[in-house]
Structure 1
Amino acid sequence: MKAKILWTCAAVVVFFYFVILYMPASQIIYAQSLPKNINIYGVSGTIWEGKAQAMVIDGIPITNVQWDIAGLPLLIGSLSADITGGNLRDPNDVSFKGSVSVSAFSPEQINSDDFLLFLPVDRILANIQLPLPVDAGGRFRVRLDAFSFGPDCNRMAGHGDWLNATVAGTQGPIDFGNYSAQLSCEGKDIGITVKEPNKLGLSLQAVLSADFEQFSIDGKFKPEDDLPDEVHQAAEIFGKPDKDGYISFSL
């Protein structure tokens, strides 16, 4: 009798194991009430290893999103997954790859120790309220070596780059080269530090609120002499240069 009960229990456990193992991702994801700014299309595979043909977040599309969830961390109440999206080689794609984890004890907090993100500049600027209109091109690259975020900036170590930066000029796009920034937590907010060398002679310290709605910037710049005259003329809007030729600004 005891043996029959044990075999029955074992069979039930195995049954539910395979039900969970092969549970279609579409049944879980489409049953959820997603935020209004997020839409997911073409979900396939299982909840553990699946993909979506596309996601749209705040009007920005991301194609070919894939995930692979590790089972072992679940035993300690942590959801850990390797995720990829977009095409890293396509400059017009929002793309990413890396590992992320979320603890059951702080589900609003996302953690990662290795994450790479590419963002087309024109798409991102189109969704940001700037004090001055900017028609810019190129690609943002963000590499995070340590990251813990939500709802505040708890830990951040990494850097960001503006690759092949261009800004529309009267005679066509103006090449501004590349820019690099160090990323860190500034209290509960995000700190961004840019240093020379770069074509604009730009250095700045920026603080972006954790909800991405407010920012402050303090910096200075001195455009290189070989940049077009219209760049030097536009620089005068920010004020007169100091004795070393730098123009200071705050936003």
Structure 2
Amino acid sequence: MSLIKKIILGVFIYLVFLVVFIPANWVVGIAPLPNNIKVSGVTGTLWQGSADVVSIDRRVIEQVTWDLNPWALFIGQVNVDVRIGSRATAVSGQGDISWSMSGLTADNLRFEAPNAFLLGNARLPFRTKIDGDVSLIVERLEQGAPWCEQLTGKLFLNRIDVKNQFGEYPLGDIALGLNCIDGQVQLNTDDSMNKMGIQGTATLGDNNSITVSAKIKPTPEQPKDLTQALSFLGQQDSQGYYPVNYQGTIPGM
């Protein structure tokens, strides 16, 4: 083998090792991250690494690990298996996330967090405070306009306790189905998915818009303050339901 070929081979091997073992902390250090995102305790490589803490708008996520598939890059995709936290942390999750020129996709995505993490410092109407936590399970997500092309999954609101200037409303557990309707995210629930007598849908559109088309009836499990307030919603229908309708922006956003 000639000297030139040996040099070329040596440079090629060096570049391969450089790419394979590129430190994750170096990549994070030069990445143009937004000012509201902070990452610390980064170890491992670009392809397989971890971060002790990721802070987004003062929302703290601990124990983030990832496995980036290098072979997906050859077909124009970024595919990463992400894991967040553990049973001992407030926020946890995992999922297989991919990005290509056609948009974002996710499979078998799971995410759990307390409501305080999701709401952050948002000010809700009527001095409302919400305790409890949220569990999100997404079987399949394909990005579209304005939000989705395909979406199947469920959202669980666990041990929800709402307090505001009008009273206290321990709502308990509420399950909602997730679907994609004309590019918008639709959440739906009925009497089989909650004990509060709630039935209907909430549709998330662009520009943080939301449309709620639902109804609620008195049930034995309802908090007293909620049952007494139902009459302010309007007239009951023939099945005993009161209307719940709203169209505007997401409260607190």
1:196 aligns with 2:191: yes
Contact 2:216 2:241 in 1 (8 A): yes
Q: How does 1:121-136 map to 2 (within 5 A)?
A: 121-126=115-120, 130=124, 132-136=126-130
Displacement of 1:226: 4.1
Q: Output the CA distance in 2 between the equivalents of 1:46 and 1:119.
A: 27
Name the counterpart of 2:97.
100
Letter paired with 2:105: N
Letter paired with 1:242: D
Letter paired with 1:183: L
1:58 aligns with 2:53: no
Q: Output the CA distance in 2 between the equivalents of 1:97 and 1:133.
A: 33
Percent of aligned pairs with the same amino acid: 26
Name the counterpart of 2:172.
177
Q: How many positions carry a matched residue from both structures?
A: 243
Name the counterpart of 2:17.
18
Distance 1:210 1:47, change over 3 A: farther
Q: Which runs of 5+ in 1 are unaligned?
A: none
Displacement of 1:201: 0.7
Contact 1:137 1:167 in 2 (8 A): yes
Q: Output the CA distance in 2 between the equivalents of 1:186 and 1:94.
A: 29
Distance 1:168 1:196, change over 3 A: same
Contact 1:190 1:210 in 2 (8 A): no
Displacement of 1:34: 1.4
1:38 aligns with 2:32: no
Contact 1:88 1:96 in 2 (8 A): no
- The counterpart of 1:144, out of the listed 130, 134, 138, is 138
Contact 2:171 2:196 in 1 (8 A): yes
Contact 2:136 2:156 in 1 (8 A): yes
Determine which structure has greater relative contact order: mean sequence separation of CA pairs < 8 Å that are 6+ residues apart, divided by chain length: 2
CA shift digits 1:60-107 (9 cap, x unpaired): 1111111111122122121111101123454xx22210111112x34x
Q: Which runs of 5+ in 2 are unaligned?
A: 247-253
State TM-score, norm by structure 2: 0.85
Q: Output the CA distance in 2 between the equivalents of 1:127 and 1:222.
A: 32
Name the counterpart of 2:240.
245
Q: Output the CA distance in 2 between the equivalents of 1:184 and 1:210.
A: 16
Distance 1:183 1:95, change over 3 A: same
Distance 1:36 1:185, change over 3 A: farther
Q: Output the CA distance in 2 between the equivalents of 1:218 and 1:118.
A: 26
Tell me the SS of whatever aligns to 1:241.
coil
Displacement of 1:187: 1.6
